[in-house]
Amino acid sequence: MSSVLHDNSSSTVIVAPARGFRGSVMLPGDKSISHRYALLAGFAEGTSRLTNFSTGADPHSSLGCMKAMGARVTTVGKTIEVTGTGGVLHQPKGDLDCGNSGSTMRMLAGLVAAQKGVYRFVGDESLTVRPMERIRKPLELMGARIELTDGHAPMTVHGGELTGIDFEAPIASAQVKTAVLFAGLQARGATSIAESVRTRDHSEHALRAFGATLERKDGRLRIEGGQKLRAIDATVPGDMSSAAFFLCAALLFEDSNLVLDALGMNPTRAAMLDVISAMGGVIKVLDVQETHGEIAGTIQVNRGRALVGIDIAGERAAQLIDELPVIAAIAPYTEGGVRIRDAKELRVKESDRIALVVKNLRAMGAEVVEHEDGMDIPGGQRLHGGVIDSGMDHRITMAFAIAALRAEGETAIRGAEAAAVSFPEFFTWLDELAIR
């Protein structure tokens, strides 16, 4: 069992080791897709019905901002209904509060950049140190004016008429791509984007679902300006990045058996399944469906004979960026160890995830070598329970709850409530699936 201790401002969850990992789960809706549906539904004409919308706090920050700009949001049973503003956002009365969500701040900046008005964005302590220059540059080239505070939020977007640009994305970021696409949708003329690494393409699918036309040709994505969006009915597939925690847990035990229903398997997010196979998991895909361009399916995962290590670098590192903390957290238990490179972006996520993974692995007695853009974690190690600093980062919290399942003794995770940013049900599900 996990038990929860509270002090004044934060909670500590105690995670006991497990003997196995078995069961079946339908995960809450994908965070990335939920953000895009929230923003585009709030912008479109008509009422969208979004089922299995993410329960995480982050996509609810996106809904909250759209509400502040005139969208109507109501919950009807398991469906969130969003009545959009028909392409004209209202001037919000106060700041747009993005909470912990970099996705909300960056992607929404693109949407409001083309609207006449002034929009001030704020966020929590973590969001206030995350880089925003990456969206300021392209959006200013299109004609918006953006004021940052030392390259960060608070951020003020002075929106207005935009002109399309040809943009070469200097970093692999789906959020930046999305900001430019959302601005391009409303700009004069066409906007094109070239990505050096193919990042998650949920925005492309979502834009098409809401009725926009965009094309990918010779490696460039191209969108015509002046397009209108109309409401959709959609069911959000389960979140692969949340699934990653349980997939890694399933690798830790010889007789594990995990079934995940309606899991999002968009190819730009499915690299995690290749990693699970490469590390010794046996995956059976039981059923696959496609809606609005997004693939969802039921999968069954068992562990094969051994848990083996892996090297992750280059394009792979970018595509697995959200899953790297949990891969690193189980690395000491592998045969052969794990080496991660080209993942410098981890340092500017909700926390410096390289520094925190290294610190917390050491707190559990692991040997690990830190690199500027990754880490080397030898395999064949035995860990003991320790005190984990989540850094109030949801993925650090959940990654070390998984590492704790194979440690000797209990592990205390400080600031464990951070899990609610993307996966509020995490500890409940963990207790159901872990055999103690």
Is 322 an annotated catalytic residue?
yes
Q: Return the CA Rg of the chain.
A: 21
Segment near ligand S3P (CB under 6 A), from 46-54, 155-163, 168-176, 254-262? 168-176
Among 100, 175, 192, 397, binds ligand S3P (CB under 6 A): 175
A 10 A CB-CB count for 425 gives 16
Going by C-beta distance under 8 Å and a sequence separation of 6 or more, which residues neighbour residue 4? 11, 12, 13, 14, 416, 427
Of the pair 35, 136, the CB lying nearest ligand S3P is at 35
Judged by CB under 6 A, the residue of 61, 173, 192, 235 near ligand S3P is 173
Q: Restricting to residues 220-259, which ones interact with ligand S3P according to CB under 6 A?
A: none
Q: Which is nearer to ligand S3P, 96 or 405 (CB)?
A: 96
The answer to whether residue 32 forms part of the interface with ligand S3P (CB under 6 A) is yes
Beta-carbon contacts of residue 8 (< 8 Å; ≥ 6 apart): none
Establish whether the linkage from the previous residue to 17 is cis, with ω within 30° of 0. no
Question: Residue 97 or residue 322: which is nearer to ligand S3P going by CB?
Answer: 322
- Catalytically annotated residue among 322, 373, 389, 431: 322
Taking the least distance from each CB to ligand S3P, the nearer of 174 and 416 is 174
> Closest approach of Cβ 318 to ligand S3P, in Å?
7
What DSSP designation does 193 have?
A: E
Minimum CB distance to ligand S3P, residue 225 (Å): 22
Q: Is 109 in the site for ligand S3P (CB under 6 A)?
A: no
CA–CA dist 368, 300 (Å, integer): 32
Q: Does 103 contact ligand S3P by CB under 6 A?
A: yes
Q: Please state the closest distance from residue 30 (CB atom) to ligand S3P, in A.
A: 9
Measured from the CB of residue 427, what is the shortest distance to ligand S3P in angstroms?
A: 20
Burial of residue 241, with CB atoms counted within 10 A of its CB: 0-12 exposed, 13-18 middle, 19 or more buried: buried
**Is 62 an interacting residue with respect to ligand S3P (CB under 6 A)?**
no
**Distance in Å, CB of 175 to ligand S3P, minimum:** 3
Rounded alpha-carbon distances, angstroms, from residue 115 to 23, 111, 213, 277, 285: 48, 7, 20, 46, 44
Encoding tokens for residue 271? 């690299």
Buried b (16+ CB within 10 A) or exposed e, 298-319: bbebbbeeebbbbebeeebbbb
Classify residue 141 by burial, with Cβ atoms within 10 Å: 0-12, 13-18, 19+: middle
- Residue 270's CB: how many other CB atoms inside 10 A? 16
Task: State the binding string over 310-339 for ligand S3P (x if CB under 6 A, else -).
Answer: -----------xx-----------------
- 354 is a site residue for ligand S3P (CB under 6 A): no
The catalytic site residues sit at: 322
Give residues in contact with ligand S3P (CB under 6 A). Answer: 32, 35, 103, 173-175, 200, 321-322
